Chain A
Amino acid sequence: MRYALLVMGAPYSSQAPHSALRFACALLTQGHTLDSVFFYQDGVHNASFLMTPPQDEDNLYRQWLALNDEHGVALDVCIAAALRRGLLNEAEAKRHGQPGYNVAAPFELTGLGQLLELQQRCDRVITFAA
């Protein structure tokens, strides 16, 4: 089956992203397809490449990257929720006159409509709430 995940919790403050990653791995091991992960509400914090946990701890950002790199999973971030919370890519930082940015590919800032499209195209959308 084709799956998408909706992640609404921030890394470390919420168990949601950790559970989502474990679920993603289980899905892929079982031979299902993971189309995309969509990040909304506090979930957008997963997109920051500045995430710097201690070396001996889980680096959730790198785990998302690995999902994309090894399995082609798209990483879509709701742009409105992201901007509000201070997650910007280079283009948005320029557009809004901000001195820095913390989001880059493969995370893509996109509209909420993308989530609805995922629902249409995937067999299952699993929500990991904050």
Chain B
Amino acid sequence: MNQRDTLLIVIRSAPHDGIRLRESLDALLVGAAFGRPVVPLFMGQGVLALLPDQTPGAPGQKSTLPIIQMLEMYDIETLYLAERDVTASGLSQADFVASAKTLDAGQVQALFHDARHVLTF
């Protein structure tokens, strides 16, 4: 991937950690709306954001899963997961939404290297 103008957005928050994940995803959407190539990387607790069977939380707490599912409409087709954090949660790529793809440490490093800009939430 060349450094065209790629914005790498690193998300480390799990669902229902207050509004944190939702606001991180908003940054993804804004980047895409601005027509920039946006690459999402979910690390740490953030891998849980890509689990497919999420429900809304306690009364009033919306699920972020609909936003994840809608990213494709914004030309964000692949959602990257750090393999190390997937394994640490006792899961594997098959447990996540279809557009999720796990990356090993070297590939994660490459994502950072190839990005023009990085934002971490």
Contacts and interface: CB of A to CB of B under 8 A. Distances in A.
Interface of A: 6, 8, 40-41, 80-81, 84, 111-113, 115-116, 119-120, 125, 127, 129
B101 interface: no
Interface of B: 7, 19-20, 23, 26-27, 30-31, 33-34, 36, 117, 119-121
Contacts, number: 34
Nearest to A80: B26
Contacts of A116: 7, 30-31, 34, 36
A81 B31 contact: no
21 contacts: A8-B121, A41-B19, A41-B20, A41-B23, A41-B121, A80-B23, A80-B26, A81-B23, A84-B19, A112-B26, A112-B27, A112-B30, A113-B34, A115-B119, A116-B31, A119-B7, A119-B119, A120-B117, A125-B117, A125-B119, A129-B120
A112 B28 CA distance: 10
A34 B30 CA distance: 24
